[in-house]
Amino acid sequence: TQLLEQSPQFLSIQEGENLTVYCNSSSVFSSLQWYRQEPGEGPVLLVTVVTGGEVKKLKRLTFQFGDARKDSSLHITAAQPGDTGLYLCVEGGYQKVTFGTGTKLQVIP
Amino acid sequence: GAVVSQHPSRVICKSGTSVKIECRSLDFQATTMFWYRQFPKQSLMLMATSNEGSKATYEQGVEKDKFLINHASLTLSTLTVTSAHPEDSSFYICSATPGQGGNYGYTFGSGTRLTVV
């Protein structure tokens, strides 16, 4: 399975800080999903982006899809301890799934 | 929303025995399900794509005789780890999509923590 490149790999920040996670590919995404996974659990879907340049907001989370559909970012404003987890970008078609390398976020109270 | 149930959540087995993990789509039909393996602090690695009524498609490096996949119905896929060894200890996760995965997203099971002693 080809992995999408995510950065940073690890991030430890204080509560209230802002952060951005990036997901990059050398090829064009058909569509992209962002998931958050907590230890011992399966990933949970946060958002799906399809159109180049698309921006979606989910409370304090802002997702952006690059104009060329080869990159995406996740921005968290005023991070909370509950945001702690592994963030994964995923490109998936009907029969093929490509995962990001993952970003492990820790928000310290 | 779409729900995928995975069972058991944790299993401990002796080396040399086989373990079966079930993945069920509870409120939708899934012609395709995916099985992953995850090592600590790492992303998910796709093991195989399970197709209802046909043979699974395995990723390179995954032993199909060791990781048996059966997708006998549109709501159930099973992964059997045969003759398990300690190196098979891992977190196994399944996922399914109710439609054309890219736009519908994938629903993941809650995972199975396998420990082989």
Contact criterion met (CB < 8 Å) for B102 and A44 = no
More reliable by pLDDT, A50 or A17: A17
Contact criterion met (CB < 8 Å) for A1 and B4 = no
Confidence tier at B106 by pLDDT (50, 70, 90)? confident
pLDDT at B102 exceeding the cut of 60? no
Name the minimum distance, in Å, from the CA of B19 to any CA of chain A.
19
Place of tokens 């995928």: B4
pLDDT mean across residues, chain B: 90
Residue A3, pLDDT score: 66
Mean pLDDT, residues A83-107 taken together = 86
Residue B72, pLDDT score: 83
Q: Which residues of B touch A92 (CB under 8 A)?
A: 97, 101-102, 105-106
Q: What is the helix (H) or strand (E) element at residue B103, kind and residue range?
A: helix B101-104
pLDDT digits (tens, 9 = 90+) for B24-36: 999 888 888 999 9
Residue B103, pLDDT score: 58
Residue A95, pLDDT score: 61
pLDDT at A97 exceeding the cut of 80? no
Contact status, residue B105 vs residue A47, Cβ threshold 8 Å? no
Nearest beta carbon to residue A1 from set B4, B45, B107: B45
Cα-Cα-Cα-Cα torsion B95, B99, B100, B102, nearest 10 degrees, comes to: -50
Mean pLDDT, residues B73-102 taken together = 88
Q: Which residues of A touch B25 (CB under 8 A)?
A: none
Mean pLDDT, residues B67-81 taken together = 93
Name the minimum distance, in Å, from the CA of B16 to any CA of chain A.
25
pLDDT digits (tens, 9 = 90+) for B46-56: 899 988 888 89
Name the minimum distance, in Å, from the CA of A99 to any CA of chain B.
7
Name the interface residues of B facing A (CB cutoff 8 Å): 4, 6, 32, 34, 41-46, 49, 57, 59, 91, 93, 95, 97, 100-111, 113
What gap in Å lies between CA B36 and CA B47, rounded to an integer? 5
pLDDT digits (tens, 9 = 90+) for A25-83: 888 887 889 999 998 899 998 998 888 999 999 999 999 999 998 999 999 999 999 99
Mean pLDDT, residues A82-96 taken together = 84
Query: CA angle, A32 as apex, A30 and A37 as ends, to 5°?
Result: 150
Residue A21, pLDDT score: 98
Residue A94, pLDDT score: 58
